[in-house]
């Protein structure tokens, strides 16, 4: 089982997952997420980006059902295959 353990406040989103170094922060009404330099997100997209970061940090086996959600989350963020 994969558990997403994000800590969400009004201005910051962090993860307790070992190896997940990404952080989302609110700046002037838009969210930035480390690992997505130059991009800004709304709150929901920042949560999605952090969820992806946790999945990648946990790196479950290829057959794990969480992977079937990853393509949709990536589309939500406008990521292509070359992007992380």
The position carrying tokens 């201005």 is 11
pLDDT at 5: 82
Using a 10 angstrom Cβ sphere, with 0-12 exposed, 13-18 middle and 19 or more buried, the burial of residue 23 is: middle
Question: What are the tens digits of pLDDT across the range 7-44?
Answer: 999 999 999 999 999 999 999 999 999 999 999 999 99
Question: Domain coordinates of the chain in residue numbers?
Answer: 6-76
Give the separation between CA 13 and CA 84, rounded to whole angstroms: 19
Give the up-direction half-sphere exposure of residue 52: CA atoms within 13 A in the CB hemisphere: 22
- Beta-bridge partner residues of 14: 7
pLDDT at 80: 76
Global pTM reads 0.89
The position carrying tokens 């959600």 is 69
Question: What are the tens digits of pLDDT across the range 34-82?
Answer: 999 999 999 999 999 999 999 999 999 999 999 999 999 999 999 976 5
């Amino acid at each position: 089982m994969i558990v997403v353990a994000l800590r969400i406040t009004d201005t910051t989103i962090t993860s307790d997952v070992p190896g997940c170094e990404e952080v989302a922060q609110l700046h002037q009404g838009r969210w930035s997420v480390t690992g997505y330099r130059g991009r800004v997100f709304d709150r929901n997209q920042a949560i999605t980006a952090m969820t992806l970061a946790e999945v990648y940090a946990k790196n479950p086996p290829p057959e794990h059902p969480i992977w079937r959600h990853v393509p949709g989350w990536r589309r939500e963020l406008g990521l292509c295959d070359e992007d992380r």
